[in-house]
């Protein structure tokens, strides 16, 4: 296992599982496609100063030292059989090239305490640049809370995570930790995982809830839990731009995914890249490269184990997905909720899924920022929350074309405005404002 201290990125596996699975699929279908990613701070009043920026630059430069260790490679082979030997060997030889791929600049005063706007762009082959997003976001958050907002402490973080885990398990929720990209620091993440694992170990016999795992591959390895995740919006966005086909992008992405991993593997589909209604039209189409046991051709809705809800009103979505699966004659499908969750929301959405019908929907929960960046101020207004950054790095171009995301929430749309408006008309998109992205976790 890679040696580490309490700050920065020290393992290539300190990332989300779906970055590895998407890199695997990109190698198969789009190994030479050039892409660009852009950074956006949705909380622009929370900025770095020059000292924080210099620390960040140093840590980014250190990416070139990261490599998959022998122990990590062996663990991947045993734990993630869907990542074949060819890919694990490729990952052993993979090296970040931050000087070549990452451009980061600071627009502010020259003094060490002068704050300013940071601009970050990632460019290069998709297969080489796909792994930057998660560790970069984690570092930016860490820089802010190391140098800018320091009125907080680690005291009680392990216990807080333990208590949340206990409530979720006792509430019957199957949940995973999804907090890498917006964590306050690696140390926070480690304390949270310790608390959650303790909650699982102390769970009463017969508890319906459980800690299913973590999206962080390194911490899954360290704590002996399952690495969890399937696919991100990036996969759908990139394919739509490369193929220049938004009407069929969901179907192309679903087909390529199942051609890569097969049926029943990593089988949670993301619904909202171009709006859920657009997705449903593709989800009902035949997956003609697959077969049911009787030789018939399944639809993608049949072939995938379930879906992930990541924007819009979750309770409205529950009704929509209930109606969809009933119309398709399907039941026992998983719904993973992953949009700004906390314990109370998870328990409420679980009850809503159960009310949809006996065994029709199986709820699961991916909880991120609420676990790894849940702090109150140490001094002054001690009961007031110390808010996390809301930062994203999104694919902005693929193969020379703009990449966009529509989402079920207008506040989470990203990309070229003119192209977004064109695609809305092409696919019949409807969306509404659901959250204020500048105050998502207030």
> Which pLDDT score is estimated for 401?
96
Do the domains 157-372 and 17-151+391-414 match in fold?
Answer: yes
Tell me the chain's radius of gyration from C-alpha atoms: 21
Take residue 430 and report the two structure tokens written for it. Answer: 């409807």
Predicted confidence (pLDDT) per residue in 54-79, tens digit: 999 999 999 999 999 999 999 999 99
User: Which CATH code fits 157-372?
Assistant: 3.20.140.10
Instruction: Say if residue 113's pLDDT is above 90.
Output: yes
Instruction: Say if residue 355's pLDDT is above 50.
Output: yes
Task: Indicate the domain borders of the chain.
Answer: 17-151+391-414, 157-372
Mean pLDDT lowest for which of 96-110, 326-340, 376-390? 376-390
Phi, psi of 289, deg, nearest 5? -90, 0
Assess contact for 104 and 13: CB atoms under 8 A: no
What span, in angstroms and rounded, lies between the C-alpha atoms of 80 and 88? 10
What span, in angstroms and rounded, lies between the C-alpha atoms of 11 and 211? 23
Predicted confidence (pLDDT) per residue in 391-431, tens digit: 999 999 999 999 998 877 766 677 778 888 888 877 877 66
Question: DSSP code of 363?
Answer: E
Does the domain at 17-151+391-414 match CATH 3.20.140.10? Answer given as yes
Residue 175's beta-bridge partner residues? 211, 365
Assess contact for 131 and 15: CB atoms under 8 A: yes
| Long-range contacts, stretch 152-157, CB < 8 angstroms, 24+ apart | 152/184, 152/375, 152/376, 152/377, 152/378, 152/386, 153/378, 154/187, 154/188, 154/191, 157/188, 157/191, 157/192, 157/195, 157/375
Instruction: Say if residue 3's pLDDT is above 60.
Output: no
Smallest CA-to-CA distance from 272 within 339, 210, 205 is with: 339
What span, in angstroms and rounded, lies between the C-alpha atoms of 20 and 88? 10
Compute the half-sphere exposure of residue 409: CA atoms within 13 Å on the CB side of its CA.
17
Instruction: Say if residue 338's pLDDT is above 80.
Output: yes
Instruction: Say if residue 437's pLDDT is above 60.
Output: no
Assess contact for 113 and 51: CB atoms under 8 A: yes
Assess contact for 395 and 237: CB atoms under 8 A: yes
Question: What confidence category does residue 265 fall into, taking pLDDT thresholds of 50, 70 and 90?
Answer: very high
Instruction: Say if residue 96's pLDDT is above 80.
Output: yes
Predicted confidence (pLDDT) per residue in 32-51, tens digit: 999 999 999 999 999 999 99
Assess contact for 190 and 5: CB atoms under 8 A: no
> Which pLDDT score is estimated for 358?
86
Predicted confidence (pLDDT) per residue in 290-304, tens digit: 999 999 999 999 999
> Which pLDDT score is estimated for 336?
98
> Which pLDDT score is estimated for 258?
98
Instruction: Say if residue 276's pLDDT is above 50.
Output: yes
pLDDT cut 90: percent of the chain above it: 85
> Which pLDDT score is estimated for 441?
47
> Which pLDDT score is estimated for 129?
99
What span, in angstroms and rounded, lies between the C-alpha atoms of 75 and 58? 29
> Which pLDDT score is estimated for 440?
54
Smallest CA-to-CA distance from 312 within 409, 430, 414, 424 is with: 409
């Amino acid at each position: 296992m890679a040696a580490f201290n309490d700050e920065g990125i020290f393992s290539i596996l300190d990332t989300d599982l779906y970055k590895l699975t998407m890199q695997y699929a990109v190698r198969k279908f789009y190994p030479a496609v050039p892409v660009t990613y852009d950074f956006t701070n949705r909380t622009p009043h929370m900025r770095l100063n020059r000292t924080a920026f210099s620390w960040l630059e140093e840590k980014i430069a250190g990416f070139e030292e990261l490599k998959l260790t022998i122990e990590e490679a062996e663990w991947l082979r045993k734990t993630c059989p869907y990542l074949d030997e060819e890919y694990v060997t490729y990952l052993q030889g993979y090296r970040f090239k931050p000087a070549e791929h990452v451009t980061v600049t600071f627009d502010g005063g020259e003094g060490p305490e002068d704050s300013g706007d940071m601009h970050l762009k990632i460019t290069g082959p998709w297969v080489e640049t796909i792994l930057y997003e998660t560790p970069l976001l984690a570092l930016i958050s860490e820089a802010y809370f190391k140098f800018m907002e320091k009125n907080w402490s680690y005291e009680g973080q392990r216990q807080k995570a333990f208590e949340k885990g206990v409530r979720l398990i006792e509430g019957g929720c199957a949940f995973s930790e999804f907090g890498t990209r917006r964590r306050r620091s690696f140390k926070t993440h480690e304390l949270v995982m310790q608390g959650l694992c303790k909650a699982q170990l102390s769970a009463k016999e017969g508890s319906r809830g459980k800690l299913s795992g973590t999206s962080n591959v390194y911490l899954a390895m360290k704590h002996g839990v399952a690495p969890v995740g399937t696919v991100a919006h990036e996969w759908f966005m990139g394919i739509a731009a490369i193929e220049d086909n938004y009407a069929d992008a969901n179907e192309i992405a679903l087909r390529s995914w199942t051609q890569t991993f097969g049926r029943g593997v990593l089988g949670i589909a993301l619904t909202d890249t171009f709006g859920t209604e657009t997705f449903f039209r593709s989800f009902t189409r035949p997956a003609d490269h697959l077969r049911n046991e009787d030789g018939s051709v399944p639809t993608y809705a049949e072939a995938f184990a379930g879906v992930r809800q990541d924007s819009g009103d979750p309770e409205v979505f529950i009704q929509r997905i209930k109606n969809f699966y009933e119309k398709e004659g399907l039941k026992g499908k998983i719904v993973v909720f992953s949009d700004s969750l906390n314990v109370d929301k998870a328990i409420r959405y679980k009850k809503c899924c159960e009310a949809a019908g006996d065994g029709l929907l199986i709820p699961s929960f991916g909880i991120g920022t609420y676990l790894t960046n849940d702090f109150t101020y140490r001094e002054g207004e001690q009961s007031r929350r110390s808010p996390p950054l809301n930062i994203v790095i999104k694919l902005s171009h693929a193969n020379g074309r703009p990449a966009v995301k529509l989402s079920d929430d207008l506040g989470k749309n990203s990309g070229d405005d003119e192209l977004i408006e064109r695609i809305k008309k092409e696919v019949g998109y409807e969306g509404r404002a659901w959250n204020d992205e500048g105050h998502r976790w207030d």
